[in-house]
């Protein structure tokens, strides 16, 4: 059977990809999706650990995290849409009025 | 002796006069203030006389604790000490002081600040009495600086010029110039005294370090017993010498004394001739128990005195201000006294102090009378032939001149002779200087006399004889100047050294053993010096060549000592002050600069706060990555 | 235990604060009277304590879990300083009331500050000391902010930054003193039982010293002082309080010497050197100033150099002298600031180069001169006793440094007399305004301090009896010396 | 064999009360005016605070220890509710000017508070996470709700970065779980003692990741950059809420996790020390450069994160006590200051520092109050801020972080400068026309300000009134439940 470490490796890669996405993507949507990716990396890690410890807590935790992620999507999209309505853009680089 | 009036009355009486006149001047219209002040000094004189008449062992009266830990394992108390020396000084101060107060009532009669003048005079007398009666150096220092303060106030008495409200522009301008020079003179006197005072203080500190007390009687005892490094005593004595030099206008701190003539003439007579300036001599005499142990320091004293005597005499040769001549002569005579005490001939020194007090006060008061008579004219070249206008004053001046010139039977002769004898006994060069100075003294006093009194009147305006109130002190002083010498007739003249014996009870005498023949010789030389000096002056007078004395500019500018100090001390220190000021503001700015740079990073941070959300994400996630990396490295490090 | 006399110090501390709050609600018409009354009452309380020969230590656990106590005691040196503070605050109020157009805020600020200052002297607990130390700062800042001149913001920031820079380091070392020493509380009585030893002590001493050096002030942490005085209100009232706020010497004496005996012996030469340098440096700079307040600032700085020299020398005579000078320099420096205020009121400038003022204002000139003589330590005035004892004591420890400091006495005469002469003596410039002489309360404002200076310069026994035992007690911590 | 966990609702009472308030505003919002709802919510908050008092000394717990109403929870909860109360009072006056006066605003606010309380009451990581997310999500909305460009920008920044932060946090949570095999604080704390090396590695990794996540929530440098923009961009009343209640909750979480569960875990102390040092420097020095008062307060909030964080460096006993005291004081003074800004500003951008010149002569009451708050923020006695500073200095010093104390002392000087400038400007006489909103002085705001100022002063003079509660050492020894 597959060892826990490889699951962790995968989740690590996913997390890294998410981070890179956050750093590189310009549109709010994509940034946000990369964040989701990071969350799923976390989920994967949780599941893997749960399996290695052989106790269900971790897996239940995953469900909760998923729920939170969903809630986040709802709020996030709402905000993004609201902004898009006003400015016809979701390019985060256009939002730099507040600085210094 | 309970019935005797307490010593503190001596300074207290004039001090009361000062306080009353200062706080409630309105209570004293007209000249009443002057009479009050005079009365106070007179009362003090009476006290002094009473104490003198029934004087036994030295009296020591202490009052209250004053300075922490400065006596032996105790706090130093305010206390007064009356022995022969201080009794004599007290008599001089109150006696001469009284006469001069009397004189001033008439002399300052027309001055708008009449009452304040007498307040200051009283203050001076009080401080001077504290100085001489003090039982401890710190208390003596109180009087010491107190008289300095009084002299500051009195030199600067006309700080705004004598007619500052004058309408006439020219008069006003002259008065303003006078204001500045008066103020400067006063300040100069105080600061130069301060330099001396620092020396005095250091001396006290060192004495305390050596003996653990500053009370004079205690010191006098401990000096016998205590084993301390010779160098220590020498140094302490030198420090004290600095103090004495500052107060007595000796070299190198002499230049303030001639300037001090800016004050009213009675002030010059009382403070800058008779009493205050002799404080240095008193200090050395009072500390005889130290100087006896410090031969080198004593030699220093003697030489300072000798050189100053010479300096004063040379500077006096070609002055044209009637008071300046007397001032330089004072410097020179003080030199004599230092010479004497430096040679441990304390009695001789103090004796000269006494006689000098009489004849120099006399001369100054006479000069004052002249100045008054000529309406504030002070230039001797504009005088002459005054003996016709003011015979009485002329008479007393003659007495003064003869006294200072050292012509026999006049007091100066005896005191100067004693000093010269002591000098001859111990160091020939000093003796020669002394003799030379005697000659010069006779000359410039002769010059003074002939220029003022003889010849034709060169001024304009109508001189008038002084009034009675002025004549009384003049007369008394003239009598004293003439007769005081007989207090101390030397043995070879069949005298009994009455004065030496008296002082000797306070200060052990070093009876000098010179063969009578030599003494005669010395006396003859001294007299000759005086006679030749006067003769020289007379001849010059005949040739009408007195107006400009010998040595020309060199003497007139008193050997350029002032210029030297200005360039070497005053100017540089002013420059340094400026530099420091800039530096201080500079350090200030520098610190601000530091502060500004400290907020410089703040600027960086605001730049960093670029507003781009992705930039923020970068710093966030890079931060995370860095931290994780750090952990990874650590775990690997610990793993491997 | 809790007899009335034990409460007196607390009363003396908080009465002014209560007064300043009361002033906020007092109608304008009798503000001055109320303020004066409160100040006088405070002074009275102080005198009552003096009559009782100082108060017992009053201790109340303020914040038990932190071991912070409210321990106050007024006796010896602290009582003397508290009395002077009360007196000068009273005089400052007298003058502020007649000089400042709408004095309400100023009066209450003076009172508020008085509380802080008396608290500083009374505190026998390090944290309490710190609290009062900072409390006094706030009114000082407000005075400057509300009544200052144009450059005040810079002066303000500088003053506050210097002060806090020092005091925060002090706070850290206060914490250190307790925890490295393992004392149960911050009360001095406990701290003295648990001294920190070794090099830690030196570091903590340095931390403590920073604060005190700022408040002494001592070179090079003095830069805030001239600007502070220059920018303050012309009347000189805030400067009086500022002068009273120079508590560094006291802090070192009461707290640093007992808590860091070894360190203070170890650093003695360096610190004495700095002090002597400060004295001379300041005096010399003062010679160049043309603004009376800057001049006075540097003069005060120079005096503080003397105080520091005395305290750091750890010699009994010198320390007594230092405390004596610290107490009485408040009188003459403060009074001089006020006289400068009067001068400014009359001729509308603080320049030291206007001539002949004394011709018309004889009393103002005379009193100012007398105060100057006090300031340059002319014997017979209280300043002399302090300065002389300091120098004498310090000489026993280090002759050369004392010599350097001694030169100051000459420089002092130079700057004081020069400035005085150029302002009050010499000829009045033609056509300049005629100067009014002193009027009613002004006599008291300058006269009272002078009278006290003369009294304690001549008859110093009471003050000595007050200070000498306290100083002996403190220095005994050094184990002889 | 499935056993139902005992689920007593008593310990949840405070949370439920607040939640009730939230739900009621959600539903009744259709019928009632927002003002009424706010009063209802104030009632709910007060009731919840009372219930805290009622739960005191009972030490109840529920869901098998996943939710615990211990002393720490109650004290932190009280601080949170205090902040909330002041926020609600302020919004009564300013919400309509800020154009956020809808029922949804209150609803979101109360949901956020619910989340905050959950964090304070949390007994295991999941509950903490749920609370954190509820709090964050609602605060995103609050930041955006005004709908102005500034608000939207701040909202989006807050949301994106916040989401990333939570992701990191959750990832760390996963690792901690992986290392210890449990999500319950108590269990974790117990296991951290006995771990095999590679698990220790994972644990430290998780701990550090969570530190980053929390670092974002409390705005530790370099995770602080959202703070000035969000606080500056959001309506002032919202900034008030975010900078007090939300931050307190986040610190509550850190207390629970780091001083509780991970107390014995290696590695994170030193990293936290470095982050705090950075925060102190960045926050204070950047604040020196601000010209807008509101934004300056935002930076000062960052700086205060540094001071507050120092408490976590101390032993739980000392640090917890210090934090418990400082959090309340911080809430009071910050809330009062921002309340005044909210009342006197003309637009939601706040006002520039130079505009404050002479404020004392126009609004003496508010000016003095603001001065007191600033003095307290600067840590000048006799105001409570000083004791807060002192306590954290002491906590760090005792635990061997003297250098942090010294650094904090030095940066405090900078802090003093930027607090002093506006404070003193207010007292400088000024003839130019007023540049602030003249009609801002209203009863509820005044009440909030009065609460803050009174609290700051009283707690400064008699710190024991509050410190006596938080000082009890075993409160903070029990953070993890044992």
Crossing angle between the packed helical segments B411-426 and B428-453, to the nearest 10 degrees: 160
B227 pLDDT more than 80: no
Residue in the structure block whose two tokens are 């807050």: D158
Complex confidence, ipTM: 0.86
Chains touching chain D, criterion 3+ CB pairs below 8 Å:
A, B, C
pLDDT number for residue D5: 64
pLDDT number for residue B128: 92
B229 pLDDT more than 50: yes
The angle at the Cα of C49, spanning C43 to C55, to the nearest 5 degrees, equals 135
The mean pLDDT value for B531-545 works out to 87
Q: Do chains A and D touch (3 or more CB pairs under 8 A)?
A: yes
Q: What does the alpha-carbon distance between residue D21 and residue D16 come to, in Å, rounded to a whole number?
A: 8
B323 pLDDT more than 50: yes
Q: Which chain B residue has its CA at the smallest distance from C467's CA? A: B68
Residue in the structure block whose two tokens are 């064999």: D1
pLDDT number for residue B589: 65
Encoded tokens for B566? 């200005």
- Which residue among B608, B611, B617 places its CB closest to the CB of D229? B611
pLDDT number for residue C2: 53
Residue in the structure block whose two tokens are 């946000």: A32
User: CB of A27 within 8 Å of any CB in chain D?
Assistant: no
Residue in the structure block whose two tokens are 């300091």: C390
Instruction: Provide the 8-state DSSP code for B136.
Output: B
Range of the domain at A41: 2-88
pLDDT number for residue B75: 86
Q: What does the alpha-carbon distance between residue B446 and residue B329 come to, in Å, rounded to a whole number?
A: 12
For residue B179, the chain C residues in CB contact (below 8 A) are 355-356, 425-427
Residue C10: how many other CB atoms lie within 10 Å: 18
**Å from D360 to nearest chain C CA?**
10
Instruction: Provide the 8-state DSSP code for C54.
Output: S
Best of D168, D232, D285, D414 to disrupt the B interface by mutation (most B CBs within 10 Å)? Answer: D285
Contact B355, B404 (CB under 8 A): no
pLDDT of D429-451, one tens digit each? 887 777 888 777 888 999 999 99
Q: Do C430 and B149 touch (CB under 8 A)?
A: no
The mean pLDDT value for C212-228 works out to 86
The angle at the Cα of D383, spanning D382 to D387, to the nearest 5 degrees, equals 90
Contact C258, C192 (CB under 8 A): yes
pLDDT number for residue B130: 92
Q: What does the alpha-carbon distance between residue C60 and residue C109 come to, in Å, rounded to a whole number?
A: 27
C480 pLDDT more than 50: no
Q: Do B605 and D289 touch (CB under 8 A)?
A: yes
Binning pLDDT at 50, 70 and 90, where does residue B640 land? very low
pLDDT number for residue D139: 94
Instruction: Provide the 8-state DSSP code for C246.
Output: -
Q: What does the alpha-carbon distance between residue C159 and residue D190 come to, in Å, rounded to a whole number?
A: 53
pLDDT number for residue B598: 60
Q: What does the alpha-carbon distance between residue D480 and residue D128 come to, in Å, rounded to a whole number?
A: 12
Q: Do B202 and C413 touch (CB under 8 A)?
A: no
Q: What does the alpha-carbon distance between residue D86 and residue D81 come to, in Å, rounded to a whole number?
A: 9
Instruction: Provide the 8-state DSSP code for B215.
Output: B
List all residues 6 or more positions away from D190 whose beta carbon is below 8 Å from its beta carbon.
D482
**Å from D348 to nearest chain C CA?**
28
Preceding omega of B611 cis (within 30 degrees of 0): no
For chain C, the straight-line distance linking the first and the last C-alpha, in angstroms and rounded, comes to 36
**Burial grade of B553 (CB within 10 A; 0-12, 13-18, 19 or more):** exposed
In a domain, A54, yes or no: yes
For residue B614, the chain A residues in CB contact (below 8 A) are 22-23, 26, 31, 92-93
Question: Over pLDDT 90: what percentage of chain D?
Answer: 46
Q: Where are the domains of chain D?
A: 10-476
D480 pLDDT more than 70: no
The mean pLDDT value for B131-160 works out to 90
The mean pLDDT value for B547-553 works out to 75
B547 pLDDT more than 80: no
Q: Do B581 and C289 touch (CB under 8 A)?
A: yes
Domain CATH for A22: 1.10.287.3510
The mean pLDDT value for C69-92 works out to 90
B587 pLDDT more than 80: no
C3 pLDDT more than 70: no
Preceding omega of B36 cis (within 30 degrees of 0): no
- Which residue among D149, D155, D177 places its CB closest to the CB of A97? D149
Contact D371, D451 (CB under 8 A): no
Residues paired with residue B61 on neighbouring β-strands, in sequence order: B80
Q: Which chain B residue has its CA at the smallest distance from D200's CA? A: B635
Q: Chain D residues contacting A, CB < 8 Å? A: 125-126, 129-130, 133, 137, 140-141, 144, 147, 149-150, 152-157, 159-160, 163-164, 166-168, 170-171, 173-175, 177-178, 181-183, 228-229, 232-233, 289-290, 295
Interface size A-D, in CB pairs within 8 Å, comes to: 118
pLDDT of B7-27, one tens digit each? 888 899 999 999 999 888 888
For residue B639, the chain D residues in CB contact (below 8 A) are 197, 201
pLDDT number for residue D141: 92
Out of B202-206, B374-378, C35-39, D250-254, pick the least confident. Answer: B374-378
- Which residue among B605, B620, B622 places its CB closest to the CB of D161? B620
For residue D285, the chain B residues in CB contact (below 8 A) are 598-599, 601-602, 605
For residue B621, the chain A residues in CB contact (below 8 A) are 19, 22-23
- Which residue among D321, D387, D409 places its CB closest to the CB of C172? D409
List all residues 6 or more positions away from C321 whose beta carbon is below 8 Å from its beta carbon.
B68, C310, C385, C386, C387, C388, C389, C390, C391, C392, C393
> Cα-Cα-Cα-Cα dihedral of B290, B291, B294, B299, to 10°?
170
Q: Do C161 and D417 touch (CB under 8 A)?
A: yes
Q: What does the alpha-carbon distance between residue C378 and residue D88 come to, in Å, rounded to a whole number?
A: 68
The mean pLDDT value for C95-106 works out to 85
B178 pLDDT more than 70: yes
Instruction: Provide the 8-state DSSP code for C253.
Output: I
pLDDT number for residue B99: 92
Residues 103-162 of D with CB under 8 A from B: 156-157, 160-161
Encoded tokens for C414? 């130079």
pLDDT of B28-49, one tens digit each? 888 888 899 999 999 999 999 9
Q: What are phi and psi of B250, to 5 degrees?
A: -90, 170
pLDDT number for residue B601: 66
User: CB of C402 within 8 Å of any CB in chain B?
Assistant: yes
- Which residue among C287, C288, C425 places its CB closest to the CB of B159? C425
Q: Do C138 and D409 touch (CB under 8 A)?
A: no
Chains touching chain A, criterion 3+ CB pairs below 8 Å:
B, D
For residue C156, the chain B residues in CB contact (below 8 A) are none
In a domain, A93, yes or no: no
Q: Which chain A residue has its CA at the smallest distance from D230's CA? A: A98
Q: Do B599 and D168 touch (CB under 8 A)?
A: no
> What three-state secondary structure class fits B275?
coil
3-state secondary structure labels for all residues of chain D: CCCCCCCCCHHHHHHHHHHHHHHHHHHHCCCCCHHHHHHHHHHHHHHHHHHHHHHCCCCEEECCCCEEECHHHHHHHHHHHHHHHHHHHHHHHHCCCCCCCCHHHHHHHHHHHHHHHHHHHECEHHHHHHHHHHHHHHHHHHHHCCCCHHHHHHHHHHHHHHHHHHHHHHHHHHHHHHHHCCCEHHHHHHHHHCCCHHHHHHHHHHHHHHHHHHHHHHCCCCCCCHHHHHHHHCCHHHHHHHHHHHHHHHHHHHHHHHHHHCCCCCCHHHHHHHHHHHHHHHHHHHHHCCCEHHHHHHHHHHHHHHHHHHHHHCCHHHHHHHHHHHHHHHHHHHHHHHHHHHHHCCCCCCCEHHHHCCHHHHCHHHHHHHHHHHHHHHCCCCCHHHHHHHHHHHHHHHCCCHHHHHHHHHHHHHHHHHHHHHHHHCCCCCCCCCCCCHHHCCHHHHHHHHHHHHHHHHHHHCCHHHHHHHCCHHHHHCCCCC
pLDDT number for residue D117: 94
B585 pLDDT more than 90: no
C167 pLDDT more than 60: yes
- Which residue among C373, C380, C406 places its CB closest to the CB of B202? C406
Preceding omega of C244 cis (within 30 degrees of 0): no
Residues 157-176 of C with CB under 8 A from B: 158, 161
pLDDT of D111-165, one tens digit each? 999 999 999 999 889 999 999 999 999 999 999 988 888 888 889 899 999 999 9
- Which residue among C285, C380, C426 places its CB closest to the CB of B183? C426
C438 pLDDT more than 90: no
Q: Chain A residues contacting B, CB < 8 Å? A: 19, 22-23, 26, 31, 92-93, 95-100
Is the CA virtual torsion C418, C424, C425, C429 positive or negative? Answer: positive
The mean pLDDT value for B228-256 works out to 88
For residue B75, the chain C residues in CB contact (below 8 A) are 464, 468
Binning pLDDT at 50, 70 and 90, where does residue C286 land? confident
Q: Do chains C and A touch (3 or more CB pairs under 8 A)?
A: no
Question: Over pLDDT 90: what percentage of chain B?
Answer: 25
**D374 against B505, higher pLDDT:** D374
Out of B61-65, C475-479, D91-95, pick the least confident. Answer: C475-479
**Spatial CA neighbour of D440 closest among D367, D335, D333:** D367
In a domain, A98, yes or no: no
pLDDT number for residue B61: 87
pLDDT number for residue D3: 63
pLDDT of D390-425, one tens digit each? 999 888 888 888 889 889 988 888 888 889 889 888
Binning pLDDT at 50, 70 and 90, where does residue B1 land? very low
Preceding omega of D382 cis (within 30 degrees of 0): yes
pLDDT number for residue B545: 76
**Spatial CA neighbour of C170 closest among C75, C273, C259, C302:** C259
Interface size A-B, in CB pairs within 8 Å, comes to: 32
Q: What does the alpha-carbon distance between residue B319 and residue B316 come to, in Å, rounded to a whole number?
A: 6
The angle at the Cα of B153, spanning B149 to B158, to the nearest 5 degrees, equals 165
Q: What does the alpha-carbon distance between residue D259 and residue D73 come to, in Å, rounded to a whole number?
A: 14
Contact C139, C109 (CB under 8 A): yes
C235 pLDDT more than 80: yes
The mean pLDDT value for C224-228 works out to 87
Q: Give the number of domains in chain A.
A: 1
Is the CA virtual torsion D29, D31, D33, D39 positive or negative? Answer: negative
For residue D386, the chain C residues in CB contact (below 8 A) are 131, 134
**Å from B601 to nearest chain A CA?**
13
pLDDT of C324-353, one tens digit each? 999 999 999 999 999 998 888 888 888 877
pLDDT tens by residue, chain A, 100 residues: 678 888 889 999 999 999 999 888 888 888 889 999 999 999 999 999 998 888 888 888 999 999 999 999 999 999 888 888 888 887 877 777 777 6
Interface size B-C, in CB pairs within 8 Å, comes to: 153
């Amino acid at each position: 059977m597959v060892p826990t470490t490889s699951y962790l490796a995968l989740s690590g890669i996913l997390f890294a990809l998410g981070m890179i996405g956050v750093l590189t993507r310009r549109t709010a949507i994509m940034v946000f999706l990369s964040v989701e990716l990071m969350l799923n990396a976390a989920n994967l890690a949780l599941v893997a650990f749960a399996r290695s410890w052989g106790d269900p807590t971790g897996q239940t935790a995953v469900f909760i995290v998923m729920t939170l992620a969903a809630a986040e999507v709802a709020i996030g999209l709402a905000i993004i849409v609201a902004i898009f309505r006003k400015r016809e853009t979701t390019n985060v680089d256009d939002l730099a009025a507040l600085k210094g | 002796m309970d019935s005797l009036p307490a010593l503190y009355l001596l300074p207290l009486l004039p001090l009361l006069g000062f306080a009353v006149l200062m706080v409630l001047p309105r209570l004293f219209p007209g000249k009443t203030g002057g009479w009050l002040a005079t009365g106070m000094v007179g009362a003090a004189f009476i006290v002094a006389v009473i104490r003198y008449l029934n004087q036994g062992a030295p009296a020591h009266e202490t009052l209250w604790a004053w300075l922490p830990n400065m006596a032996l394992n105790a706090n130093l108390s305010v206390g007064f000490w009356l022995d022969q020396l201080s009794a004599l000084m007290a008599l001089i101060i109150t006696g001469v002081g009284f006469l001069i107060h009397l004189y001033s009532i008439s002399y300052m009669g027309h001055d708008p600040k009449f009452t304040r003048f007498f307040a200051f005079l009283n203050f001076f007398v009080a401080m001077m009495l504290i100085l001489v009666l003090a039982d401890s150096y710190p208390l003596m220092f109180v009087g010491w600086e107190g008289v300095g303060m009084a002299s500051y106030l009195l030199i600067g008495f006309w700080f705004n010029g004598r007619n500052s409200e004058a309408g006439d522009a020219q008069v006003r301008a002259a008065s303003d110039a006078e204001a500045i020079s008066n103020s400067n003179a006063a300040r100069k006197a105080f600061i130069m005294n301060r330099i001396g005072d620092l020396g005095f203080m250091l001396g006290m500190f060192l004495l305390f370090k050596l003996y653990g007390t500053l009370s004079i009687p205690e010191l006098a005892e401990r000096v016998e017993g205590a084993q301390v490094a010779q160098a220590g005593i020498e140094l302490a004595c030198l420090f004290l010498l600095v103090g004495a030099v500052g107060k007595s206008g000796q070299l190198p701190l002499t230049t303030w004394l001639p300037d001090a003539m800016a004050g009213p003439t009675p002030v010059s007579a009382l403070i800058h001739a008779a009493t205050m300036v002799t404080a240095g001599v008193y200090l050395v005499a009072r500390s005889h128990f130290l100087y006896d142990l410090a031969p080198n320091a004593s030699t220093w004293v003697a030489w300072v005195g000798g050189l100053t005597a010479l300096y004063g005499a040379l500077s006096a040769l070609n002055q044209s201000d009637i008071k300046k001549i007397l001032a330089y002569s004072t410097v020179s005579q003080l030199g004599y006294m230092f010479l004497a005490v430096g040679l441990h001939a304390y009695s001789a020194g103090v004796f000269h102090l006494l006689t000098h007090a009489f004849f120099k006060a006399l001369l100054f008061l006479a000069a004052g009378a002249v100045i008054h008579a000529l309406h504030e004219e002070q230039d001797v070249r504009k005088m002459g032939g005054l003996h016709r206008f003011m015979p009485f004053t002329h008479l007393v001046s003659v007495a003064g001149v003869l006294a200072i010139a050292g012509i026999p039977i006049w007091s100066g002769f005896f005191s100067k002779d004693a000093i010269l004898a002591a000098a001859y006994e111990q160091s020939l060069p000093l003796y020669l200087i002394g003799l030379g100075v005697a000659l010069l003294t006779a000359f410039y006093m002769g010059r003074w006399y002939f220029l003022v009194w003889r010849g034709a009147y060169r001024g304009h305006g109508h001189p008038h004889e002084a009034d009675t109130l002025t004549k009384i002190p003049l007369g008394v002083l003239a009598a004293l100047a003439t007769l005081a010498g007989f207090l101390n007739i030397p043995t070879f003249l069949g005298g009994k050294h009455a004065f030496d014996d008296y002082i000797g009870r306070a200060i052990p005498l070093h009876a000098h053993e010179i063969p009578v023949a030599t003494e005669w010789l010395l006396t003859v030389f001294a007299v000759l010096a005086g006679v030749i000096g006067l003769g020289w002056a007379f001849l010059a007078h005949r040739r009408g060549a007195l107006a400009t004395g010998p040595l020309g500019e060199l003497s007139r500018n008193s050997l350029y000592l002032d210029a030297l100090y200005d360039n070497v001390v005053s100017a540089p220190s002013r420059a340094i002050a400026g530099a420091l000021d800039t530096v201080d503001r500079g350090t200030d700015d520098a610190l601000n600069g530091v502060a500004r740079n400290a907020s410089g990073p703040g600027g960086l941070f605001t730049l960093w706060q670029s507003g781009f959300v992705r930039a923020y994400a970068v710093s966030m996630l890079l931060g995370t990555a860095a931290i994780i990396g750090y952990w990874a490295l650590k775990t690997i490090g610990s793993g491997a | 235990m809790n007899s009335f006399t034990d409460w007196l110090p607390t009363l003396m501390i908080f009465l002014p604060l209560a007064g300043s709050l009361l002033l906020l609600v007092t109608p304008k018409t009798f503000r001055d009277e109320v303020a004066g009354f409160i100040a006088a009452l405070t002074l009275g309380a102080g005198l009552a304590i003096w009559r009782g020969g100082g108060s017992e230590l009053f201790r109340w656990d303020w914040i038990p879990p932190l071991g912070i106590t409210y321990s106050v005691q007024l006796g010896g040196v602290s009582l003397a300083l508290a009395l002077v503070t009360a007196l000068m605050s009273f005089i400052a109020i007298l003058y502020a009331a007649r000089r400042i157009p709408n004095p309400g805020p100023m009066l209450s600020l003076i009172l508020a500050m008085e509380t802080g200052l008396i608290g500083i002297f009374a505190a026998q607990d390090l944290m309490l000391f710190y609290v009062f130390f900072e409390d006094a700062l706030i009114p000082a800042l407000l005075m400057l902010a509300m009544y200052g001149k144009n450059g005040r913001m810079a002066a303000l920031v500088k003053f506050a930054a210097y002060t806090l820079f020092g005091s925060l380091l002090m706070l850290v070392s206060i914490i250190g003193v307790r925890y490295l020493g393992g004392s149960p509380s911050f009360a001095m009585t406990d701290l003295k039982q648990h001294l920190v030893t070794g090099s830690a002590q030196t570091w903590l001493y340095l931390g403590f010293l920073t604060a005190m050096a700022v408040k002494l002030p001592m070179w090079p942490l003095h830069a805030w002082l001239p600007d502070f005085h220059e920018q303050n209100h012309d009347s000189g009232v805030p400067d009086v309080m500022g002068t009273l706020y120079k508590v560094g010497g006291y802090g070192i004496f009461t707290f640093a010497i007992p808590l860091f005996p070894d360190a203070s012996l170890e650093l003695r030469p360096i610190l004495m050197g700095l002090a002597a340098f400060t004295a001379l440096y300041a005096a010399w700079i003062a010679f160049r100033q043309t603004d009376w307040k800057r001049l006075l600032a540097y003069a005060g700085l120079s005096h503080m150099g003397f105080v520091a020299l005395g305290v750091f020398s750890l010699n009994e005579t010198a320390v007594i002298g230092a405390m004596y000078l610290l107490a009485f320099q408040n009188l003459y420096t403060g009074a001089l600031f006020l006289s400068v205020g009067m001068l400014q009121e009359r001729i509308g400038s603080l320049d030291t180069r206007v001539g002949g003022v004394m011709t018309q204002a004889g009393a103002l000139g005379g009193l100012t001169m007398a105060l100057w003589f006090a300031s340059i330590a002319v014997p017979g005035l209280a300043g002399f006793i302090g300065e002389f004892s300091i120098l004498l004591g310090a000489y026993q420890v280090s002759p050369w440094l004392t010599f350097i400091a001694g030169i100051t006495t000459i420089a002092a005469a130079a700057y004081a007399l020069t400035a005085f002469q150029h302002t009050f003596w010499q000829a009045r410039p033609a056509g300049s305004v005629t100067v009014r002489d002193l009027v009613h309360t002004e006599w008291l404002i300058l006269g009272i301090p002078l009278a006290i200076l003369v009294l304690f310069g001549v008859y110093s026994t009471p003050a000595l009896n007050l200070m000498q035992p306290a100083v002996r007690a403190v220095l005994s911590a050094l184990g002889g010396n | 064999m499935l056993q139902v966990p005992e689920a007593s609702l008593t310990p949840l009472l405070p949370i439920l009360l607040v939640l009730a308030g939230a739900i009621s505003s959600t539903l009744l919002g259709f019928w009632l005016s927002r003002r009424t709802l706010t009063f209802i919510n104030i009632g709910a908050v007060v009731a919840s605070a009372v219930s805290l008092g009622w739960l005191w000394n009972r030490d109840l717990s529920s869901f098998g220890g996943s939710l615990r109403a211990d002393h720490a929870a109650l004290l932190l909860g009280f601080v949170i509710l205090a902040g909330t109360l002041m926020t609600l009072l302020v919004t009564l006056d300013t919400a309509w000017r800020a154009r956020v006066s809808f029922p949804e605003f209150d609803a979101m606010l109360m949901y956020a508070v619910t989340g905050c309380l959950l964090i304070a009451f949390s007994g295991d990581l999941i509950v903490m996470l749920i609370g954190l997310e509820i709090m964050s999500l609602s605060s995103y909305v609050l930041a955006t709700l005004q709908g102005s460009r500034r608000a939207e920008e701040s909202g989006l920044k807050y949301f994106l970065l916040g989401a990333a932060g939570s992701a990191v946090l959750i990832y760390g949570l996963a690792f901690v779980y992986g290392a210890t095999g449990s999500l319950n604080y108590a269990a974790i704390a117990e296991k951290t003692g006995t771990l095999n090396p590679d698990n220790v590695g994972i644990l430290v990794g998780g701990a550090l990741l969570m530190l980053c996540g929390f670092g974002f929530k409390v705005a530790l440098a370099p995770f602080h950059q959202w703070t000035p923009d969000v606080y500056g961009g959001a309506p002032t009343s919202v900034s008030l809420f975010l900078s007090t209640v939300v931050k307190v909750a986040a610190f509550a979480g850190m207390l629970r996790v780091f001083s509780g569960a991970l107390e014995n875990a290696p590695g994170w102390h030193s990293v936290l020390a470095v982050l705090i040092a950075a925060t102190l420097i960045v926050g204070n020095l950047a604040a020196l450069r601000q010209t807008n008062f509101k934004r300056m307060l935002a930076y000062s909030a960052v700086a205060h994160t540094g001071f507050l964080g120092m408490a976590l460096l101390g032993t739980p006993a000392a640090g917890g006590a210090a934090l418990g005291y400082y959090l309340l004081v911080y809430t009071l003074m910050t809330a009062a200051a921002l309340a005044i800004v909210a009342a006197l500003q003309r637009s939601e951008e706040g006002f520039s520092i130079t505009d404050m010149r002479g404020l004392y002569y126009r609004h003496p009451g508010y000016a003095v109050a603001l001065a007191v708050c600033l003095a307290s923020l600067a840590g000048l006695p006799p105001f409570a801020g000083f004791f807060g500073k002192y306590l954290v200095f002491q906590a760090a010093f005792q635990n061997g972080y003297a250098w942090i104390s010294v650094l904090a002392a030095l940066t405090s000087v900078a802090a003093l400068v930027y607090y002093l400038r506006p404070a003193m400007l207010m007292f400088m006489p000024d003839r130019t026309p007023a540049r602030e909103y003249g009609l801002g002085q209203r009863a509820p705001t005044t009440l909030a300000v009065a609460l803050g100022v009174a609290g700051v002063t009283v707690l400064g003079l008699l710190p024991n009134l509050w410190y006596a509660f938080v000082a009890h050492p075993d409160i903070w020894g029990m953070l993890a439940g044992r």
